[in-house]
Structure 1
Amino acid sequence: MTDIDKLDDEGLALRLKETGDQRYFAELMRRHERKILKKCKSYVKQDEASEDLMQEVMIKLFLRIKDFRSEAKFSTWLFTIIHSTCIDYLRKHKKNVHSIITEKLSDEVAEIVDTEEEVTEAMSEKILEELLNHMTPEEKMLLLLKYKEKHQIKDIQLTLNLSESAVKMRLKRAKEKINKLYYKHRQ
């Protein structure tokens, strides 16, 4: 077992940032290549485009490693790069970004809505479709990070360079919007 094998992702990213040594980058890619490809595919649904996007994410990761803050989780930081790269691709190719994000968040609506009753899939999609038309890209990413990807508030805060209270307040507002729409559609 080499020294590289003993490092966690944050340690590898920090060493890569400090030294520029390609071995650290190669190890990060070895650990995350399949995950990056799977996430890209969940956005674009095409093998060839997913592979191209994975390559683009890897390039961006290498070029932006200087922006990585070591107190943040690497996986949260990586997800933001994957998300923005895929959304940019969808926009350039005139894909319906709203429907992709709706699909990604639809399973989480039941967790976000404050109700004891079951939230139907049709209701989830209706709420999200309306909601996403009124949300900023940042709010959408916050919801994906927190509810779909299950990242901790602290990691989101550090990755997006926001205060903890700002992250909590923005999530609270987004959750309130979802609840308001849920009760509006229920009637």
Structure 2
Amino acid sequence: MQEKQKEKTEKTFYDSLSDEELVKLIKDSGDALTLRKCQEQIYDRYARKVYFKCLGIVKDHDDAQDLTHDIMVKILLKIRTFRGDSPLFGWIYAVTYNHCLSWLQKRNKVRMQDFDEKSNEIADSDAELDLKKLTELRLEKLQVLMDSLSESDRMILMMKYQDGFSVKDISTMLDLGESAVKMRLKRSRDRLAELVNNHHSDE
């Protein structure tokens, strides 16, 4: 009985810690049990979120599960290298996107094109997405249209508009120049705009 109460108290303690406090404990503590408890807490907080990120990119349950396992192992092994310059979830999502990108490239599902850094300036304005048409779409229908995009288009739109990464952040994560990222975003928005407009013209 006392052992169960102790475990419950420990769980409540680790549940109450912020991400930053967990990372600090992992970095500072030499106790194996403390390390394991902190790692378990981070796994419990983020494994499901990482899974849905992966599923949103690869669109396959089994592949998403395998990727989630590999990504969470990588995160727990590398977490001591996390500098704390940004929130932990941002770093975890960066690791997730990088791992998924590598996986897609190996599977030849996506080939990152080379962009000429000295090409014409890419406008920062959004593509001609008709806002009225977009807001009229039900959320599930918009998701269906998003799913019709290629993995690379879907991934970069998720990074920018779902997770709020800046062009500079995406540039670093994908190892692309900022003008190349702007080009990719514009092309992806254009493709989504075309799908939205076609959807309304078919109704």
- Which residue of structure 1 aligns with residue 92 of structure 2? 78
- Which residue of structure 2 aligns with residue 56 of structure 1? 70
Look at both structures and tell me which one has the larger radius of gyration over its CA atoms: 2
- 8 Å Cα contact 1:14/1:70 also seen in 2: no
1:117 shift after superposition: 4.7
CA offsets, 1:56-99, max 9 Å, x none? 1111101211221124201100000110111111111111367x
Secondary structure, aligned partner of 1:113: coil
1:23 to 24, 37, 49: 37
Structure 1 runs of 4+ with >6 Å offset: none
CA offsets, 1:103-158, max 9 Å, x none? xxxxxxxx96177953879xx99xx98xx7xxxxxxx86x654422125x6xx59x
- 8 Å Cα contact 1:87/1:97 also seen in 2: no
Q: Which amino acid in 2 is paired with 1:63?
A: L
- Which residue of structure 2 aligns with residue 88 of structure 1? 102
Q: Does 1:174 align with 2:182?
A: yes
Q: Percent identity?
A: 23
Counterpart-to-counterpart distance in 1, 2:81 and 2:158: 21
Counterpart-to-counterpart distance in 1, 2:28 and 2:125: 40
Query: Normalized against structure 1, the TM-score is what?
Result: 0.59
Q: Which amino acid in 2 is paired with 1:7?
A: L
Segment drifting more, 72-81 vs 62-71: 62-71
- 8 Å Cα contact 1:113/1:178 also seen in 2: yes
Q: Which amino acid in 1 is paired with 2:75?
A: L
Pick the structure with more helix per residue: 1
Distance verdict in 2 for CA 1:117–1:50, change over 3 Å: closer
Mapping for residues 31-180 of structure 1, pairs under 5 Å: 31-96=45-110, 113=126, 117-118=130-131, 144-150=158-164, 170=178, 174=182, 178=186
- 8 Å Cα contact 1:33/1:54 also seen in 2: yes
1:38 shift after superposition: 0.8
Counterpart-to-counterpart distance in 2, 1:7 and 1:82: 23
Q: Which amino acid in 1 is paired with 2:126?
A: V
Q: Which amino acid in 2 is paired with 1:89?
A: W
Distance verdict in 2 for CA 1:146–1:96, change over 3 Å: closer
Distance verdict in 2 for CA 1:112–1:78, change over 3 Å: farther
Q: How many residues align?
A: 146
